[in-house]
């Protein structure tokens, strides 16, 4: 069976990473439009760089580890005989650390940067400062977070549209289903005949569209749900 899974910030909540909308809409004390748009970056590059430097540093602290939900998805992928695609809206690297392989990080990755001069994308774990240098073109002060901001095109959209055409089971985990195009993937899959399931702490914005829904903590729901699916 061809399975597509979409995850959001809720799958990393029990790993100690803040979600976006559970803190009264503020994100580390910022409004999203002040730190996650190209306009914000152009207007106040230092504020935006520091916002991502803080989150990149937080990701490297010992307290932040993948949880049972990330691990259950990686283990299921390794044992599943059909096709398995994991699409994540998250920019943390917890799915990667858990061992997920066929992973599409559609909103970018905190531990990578992009060069504004030569477009290279490279792993990067430090703080971006005006002294930071691109390792490809050696230019200084030309790096931005490899993050898809609001108003920018998400990554891997061609691959995502293709796998949604032929998916038979679509499982949405830990997302409020507010941000598009990700929030529209369930409908694309459903129109092609997929059975669609929402695993979340609370009903999402598009909960009524799903064929099935189970509510609770991802670290409990995900291992239970996927162990019941094993071929
Ligand atoms: C684009 C990177 C077009 C930043 C992010 C009006 C209507 C419709 C759409 C739009 C509109 N106006 C503008 C748009 C488009 C816009 C959009 O959707 N805006 C929304 C706010 C209305 N979308 C875009 O701009 C996208 N691009 O459309 O481009 C285009 C076309 C042509 C050419 C160029 C461009 C780009 C969107 C990407 C933005 N970047 N992230 C960063 O991370 O720093 S989005 C950001 O929100 C994160 O990636 C996050 O993942 C994502 C979604 O949030 P969630 O993951 O769902 O997190 P949230 O806190 O909301 O919810 C957590 C859920 O978990 C909750 O439901 C909670 O109950 C649950 N939960 C909590 N704890 C647990 C749990 N579940 C289980 N267990 C738990 N323990």
What is the overall mean pLDDT for the chain? Answer: 95
Instruction: Enter the tokens of residue 226.
Output: 């996927």
- Going by pLDDT thresholds of 50, 70 and 90, the confidence category of residue 23 is low
- CB count in 10 Å sphere of residue 8: 27
What's the gap in Å between 37 CA and the centre of ligand 1?
12
Q: Is 8 in the pocket of ligand 1 (CB under 6 A)?
A: yes
Angle ∠(216,220,226) on CA atoms, nearest 5: 110
Instruction: Say if residue 223's pLDDT is above 80.
Output: yes
**With contact defined as beta carbons under 8 Å apart, do 42 and 19 qualify?**
no
Confidence (pLDDT) at 26 = 54
146 is catalytic: no
Residue range 114-135, pLDDT digits in tens: 999 999 999 999 999 999 999 9
Q: How many other C-beta atoms can be found within 10 angstroms of the C-beta atom of residue 66?
A: 22
pTM score of the predicted model: 0.96
> Is the CB of 10 inside a 6 Å radius of any atom of ligand 1?
yes
Query: What whole-number distance in Å separates Cα of residue 57 and Cα of residue 111?
Result: 9
Tell me if residue 103 falls in helix, strand or coil: strand
Q: What is the pLDDT of residues 81-104, one digit of tens each?
A: 999 999 999 999 999 999 999 999
pLDDT at 28 over 70: no
Distance between CA 17 and CA 59 in Å, rounded?
8
pLDDT computed for residue 18 by the predictor? 81
């Amino acid at each position: 069976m061809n399975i597509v899974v979409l995850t959001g910030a809720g799958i990393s909540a029990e790993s100690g990473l803040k979600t976006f909308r559970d803190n009264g809409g503020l994100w580390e004390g910022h409004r999203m439009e002040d730190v996650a748009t190209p306009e914000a970056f152009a207007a106040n590059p230092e504020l935006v760089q520091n916002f991502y430097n803080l989150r990149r540093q937080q990701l490297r602290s010992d307290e932040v580890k993948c949880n049972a939900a990330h691990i259950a998805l990686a283990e299921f992928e390794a044992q599943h005989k059909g096709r398995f695609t994991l699409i994540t809206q998250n920019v943390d690297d917890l799915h990667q650390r858990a061992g997920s392989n066929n992973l599409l990080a559609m909103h970018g990755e905190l531990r990578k940067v992009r060069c504004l001069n030569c477009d290279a994308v490279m792993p990067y774990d430090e703080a971006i400062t005006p002294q930071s240098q691109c390792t490809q073109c050696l230019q200084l002060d030309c790096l931005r977070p490899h993050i898809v901001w609001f108003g920018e095109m998400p990554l891997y959209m061609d691959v995502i549209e293709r796998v949604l055409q032929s998916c038979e089971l679509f499982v949405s985990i830990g997302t409020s289903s507010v941000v598009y195009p990700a929030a529209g993937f369930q409908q694309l899959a459903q129109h092609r005949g997929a059975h669609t399931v929402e695993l979340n702490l609370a009903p999402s914005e598009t909960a009524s569209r799903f064929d099935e829904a189970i509510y609770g903590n991802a670290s409990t729901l995900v291992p239970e749900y996927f162990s019941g699916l094993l071929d």
